[in-house]
Amino acid sequence: MKQKIVLSAASLNQLPLDWEGNRARILQAISQASSAGAALVCLPELCISGYGCEDQFLAPFTAANSWESLEIIASAVPDMVAVIGLALPFEGELYNVSAILAKGKIQALIPKQFLADDGVHYEPRWFKAWPKGKRTTYKGIPLGDYRLHFAGITVGIEICQDAWEGNRRPAHDLARRGVSVICNPTASHFAFGKAEIRKSLALEGAKIIDGAYVFANLLGNEAGRIIFDGDAYIAQGGQILAQTPRFSYQDFTLVSQQLSLDVREDAGEDVVSFDFTIPVPGAYKNTEIPAWEASALKKEEEFSRAVALGLFDYLRKSCSQGWVLSLSGGADSSAIASLCALSIQYATQELGWEGLKQKLNYIPLTQQDQVMADLLTTIYQGTVNSSQNTRDSAQQLAEWIGSTHYVIEIDGIVEGYRDLVEKAINRPLTWAQDDVTLQNVQARVRAPSAWMLANIKNALLLATSNRSEASVGYATMDGDTSGSISPISGIDKSFIRTWLLWLEKQGFKGLHLVNSLEPSAELRPLTEKQVDEEDLMPYPILNTIERLVFYDLCSPHECLEKVIEQYGSHFAKEKLEEFVRRFFRLWARNQWKRERYAPGFHVDDYSLDPKSWLRFPILSAGLEKDI
């Protein structure tokens, strides 16, 4: 016998510790699922408190407020089942739990069995893993490794990391116990290509139980560094039957699908049973997947969508009035200006002009054709070492985007500092003797003007360093590292240049000049024709070394061997050894800089951020000696 049933999955754009706002979005998603005639809706992991509460999970009030919210939500759930995530204290430990709500009350609490503890994840710092097979009660409510049974349908739970555990994943045990549906409430951060891995895990889960798999992820830049795709979908029979569009600018997205599932009687000490009349399917129409996502998604497109959404959410959740950017005319700052423009373009395409104004209702936006001038302020700060090419590049991009753009000359400030120091040390500063000093002062005196504009406008100052520069310290502290958020610090310079060329081909004509320029700091006299890759090494080699050491965990000696193997036909062995030694020398010397960088978005499969991914001693003997 078969039972026709509508299942729903929702993605939610939540904010840590926003109890009322988070609860309102949860209730809106449940209401919409109910209107679709859903018998069950799955919502994301820890969606009541937000996933990114960090050490506030250790504060008792976080769990207390989560439970209070859960009870309010439970009382409002109609004749359906809702799966909702929260943090739950039990016997002196804290657990990451999915609450099962139905018939106006909390029916069961099912904890996470495997905790994410790699990369950006620190779940064991806050939570304890729940043992397989353990079952007990909390306030009289079943707590533990339970199944759910209603209207002849048996449901099991996997929570995020649970599904990544191969042969250990709960799905195998749940298949033996006869479930026909698995719900996976998750908080799985964006990284290039990761969405396809998640889909494969959902399809595999459906295959394991020979049933349906319901997956629900968080959405947007929730807590600063991590961006969530917002993918939610329903899988059965080797197919993703319905899915939400990723990187949405909505408060939540919902997908529903009617399925035909086997009806069976089920009982046992591991079963929580309750019953209600299966709702009549409502008139639902899922949002169509846009063309850019329906085809194989390019890395460049994923980067655009993820960081644009990250910037938009960071802006509105910090209640800032806009962005300020020191636009040098080079690749990095041009990339960030373009991402700001894409952010508003994508938001307007999805929400419409009125929807955009509502999302940013604390900012007095008046005219659609003036929105970028209202939200983005760019400033070019020239010296005698600045070329006409970068001046023109910055001007062209600012005009094409429509930012409020200023051009100022800072030679007088540079000379003022130089004169003060020369008098103090009683000697002139020269390029031969004081090269780094004379370069850095130019970069540093640009920061106060940019900060002034940010203060005047109550806006976010955007730092412009990329990951390649961070790895070797090729950035001036309190100069190009100044800012509230560093949007491209999680990606390498080679990709930035490739992405800018790709974006120009998409019709972003304001990038034509910057794409014709060789990357240069323009801090030495123009006659020296300063080029970044000559100061450092070719960026592809730098990126290769960085990945070998901090993703593949190669020793310096192994790294050198692999670099010679890969690039030996293009460079002499001695030159490659020089590059590798330079990388390790600069890496070890500049950890203190990475400790001070502004927060950045995690977009790749690894990161150099010492606060969320890669910890390294500030003082070390230097890996260069091990080559």
Q: Which residues contribute to the annotated binding site for ATP?
A: 464
> Which token pair is 138?
């909390």
Contact predicate 30/68, CB 8 Å? no
- Is 53 a known active-site residue? no
Verify whether residue 457 is a known catalytic residue.
no
Exposed/middle/buried for residue 142 (C-beta within 10 Å: 0-12, 13-18, 19+): buried
Query: Which of 42, 47, 53, 160 does the annotation list as catalytic?
Result: 160
Gap between the Cα atoms of 154 and 145, Å rounded: 14
Which of these is catalytic: 47, 112, 293, 457?
112
Residue 45 annotated as catalytic: yes
Element (H, E) at 22: helix 19-35
Residue 127 CA from chain centroid, whole number: 22
Q: For tokens 């005219």, what's the residue?
A: 367
Q: In what order do the strands lie in the sheet with 181-185?
A: 239-243, 232-236, 212-216, 181-185, 153-157, 147-150, 271-273
Buried b (16+ CB within 10 A) or exposed e, 335-348: bbbbbbbbbbbbbb
Count CA atoms within 13 Å of residue 376 on its CB side. 30
Q: Report the distance separating Cα 108 and Cα 225, nearest Å.
A: 33
Q: Please state the residue numbers annotated as binding site for L-glutamine.
A: 188, 194
- The two beta strands, 227-229 and 135-138, are unpaired
Annotated binding site for deamido-NAD(+): 440, 469, 593
Radius of gyration, CA atoms only, the chain: 27
Question: Among the options 42, 45, 123, 302, which is catalytic?
Answer: 45
User: What residues form the annotated binding site?
Assistant: 188, 194, 440, 464, 469, 593
Structure tokens at 563: 């670099």
Amino acid at 195: A
Q: Is 449 exposed, middle or buried (0-12, 13-18, 19+ CB in 10 A)?
A: middle
| Maximum C-alpha span of the chain | 94
Q: How many CB atoms lie within 10 A of CB 271?
A: 16
As given in the structure block, the two tokens for residue 246 are 């990723």
Q: Specify the residue for token string 């760019």.
A: 378
Active site residues: 45, 112, 160
